[in-house]
Chains A and B, each alone.
Chain A
Amino acid sequence: MSQEEQALRLILKTVSEGIYGLDPHGAITFINPAGARMLGYEPEALVGRCVLQGGSEGWTSLGFPLEAAVQEGCHEDLFWRADGSCFFTEYTISRIQEQGADLGAVITFRDIGARKQAELELHMAHGELQRLSALKDEFLSTISHELRTPLAAIRNAVAIVAKEKAGPLNETQARFLSMTREHVDRLHRLVDDVLDFQKLEAGSMTYHPTVADLRPLVLEVANGYSTVFAERRIQLQVQLPSHPLTARFDRDRLAQVLLNLLSNAAKFTPEGGRVRLSGEVVGNDVRLGVEDSGKGLQEGDMERVFHKFVQVDSSLTRPVGGTGLGLAICKAIIVDGHGGRIWAESPQGHGARFWLALPLREPEGDWLVD
């Protein structure tokens, strides 16, 4: 035996992969010890055996004749052991040809059971996570709905008493009831946020957009919120152009976004401050802005404020509550729901500015045109 042959034998004996050769008819010409061990045979018991005749329906799932069966390259399949059990393998087939004649093939295989098991476990863990995530969504949805009913009842009951429909109140009673109302409303908004967030996560938020002028909506939202500003002695300026700001939008959802931006502005602006709500056409966009005279945002917070659960709090004049979902919801509504953009700016010493841009549209169904 030549030195080279000896070296080759030693390699075949030592490698951990299984290696076997096939003749053109599919009979095994040799198999290395690792291969035989994996298959549960003595090497001698396999040599000369046709793959088709072995094991349970052939101990590999290869079919023959060789020309038809052999697809060169890397495959994954089940190989059968002598005892009838099977295991996952990754195997490579290389055909052996010499001067155009088919001399057979050499197959290298290894047991990938552990990897398959890990893959299976990963797959199951993924499934479990998905199940838990769906469960979380369902739980959030249920709990939000369940929280709303008692909240609605409290709201009604407090309104009855606060409006003195159940008898006159003294000043202290009225003050505490007003506080109760404010907090019930706040709790309500938080529950709504959680429910909206759950919908966004589950991808079940629906939009009903129409093409319309944004100005009436802006005015309506500003008017609806003006008492809050008045109570906090913050001046609310509304600045709108004389021409329409036409865009395609879902009225309720856009009102929700504006309300959220205004409510943030009110929270972060000290008493005696100023908030400006404006609209304009910039290029092909309708742009709405909410600018406050609060302490503004840090450079790094400009993006972060739109992430869920993020609150830019630090040292405010008064504690500000919230779920940290408001702006994340705004962003989803504007970007995903309307194909628009929303961003924050905070020029040094000028408070925070939030902008949203929606694609400008031509007015539809304008029957007043001559």
Chain B
Amino acid sequence: MNRTLLVVDDEPSILETTRFILESEGYRVLAARDGEEALEVLRRERPPIVLLDVMIPKLNGFDVCRAIKADPELRSTFVLVLTARGQRADEAMALEAGADTYMRKPFDDEEILACIEAVFARLDAQRGVP
């Protein structure tokens, strides 16, 4: 299956380190710096997972999440919203916006990798990949 994911963050260094962590595990990583770009990339590339920061320009993470879940073509994308620790209202907001799960920033590389691995395993199982 397509082991591609989209990382959306407006902070270049976060984007780069996350990309490195994921790429070194063999994932293909797409990047977007704002909400609009995120939706563009999603429509063009259809990655099965998106890691979505909340505080991003143009459309915020919640808006992007709502747009994904309202779009029949994109609806099946697994949305992982990255919330800042201590902003617990954001977690409820993320789920309300239709996110599949959330993770608190800062996350450990093991943590994010375990989560992504589990999601891909589940997507594989759903699609009958052995």
Chain A interfacial positions (CB closer than 8 Å to B): 145, 148-153, 155-157, 159-160, 163, 165-166, 188, 192, 195-196, 199, 206, 208
Contacts and interface: CB of A to CB of B under 8 A. Distances in A.
Given A148-B84, A163-B109, A188-B106, A157 B89 contact: no
Given A145-B84, A196-B86, A199-B86, A152 B21 contact: no
A254 B33 CA distance: 36
B17 interface: yes
Contact residues of A: prevailing secondary structure: helix
A227 to B, nearest CB: 14
B85 interface: yes
Contacts of B58: none
Contacts, number: 48
Contacts of A196: 86
A149 B106 CA distance: 9
Contacts of A151: 106
Contact of A160 (B21, B88, B106): B21
Interface of B: 11, 13-14, 17-18, 20-21, 24, 84-86, 88-89, 105-106, 108-109
Contacts of A206: 88-89
B18 A192 contact: no
Nearest to B18: A156
A144 to B, nearest CB: 9
A156 B89 contact: no
A166 B18 CA distance: 13
A165 B106 contact: no
B109 A159 contact: yes
Nearest to A252: B88
A9 to B, nearest CB: 74
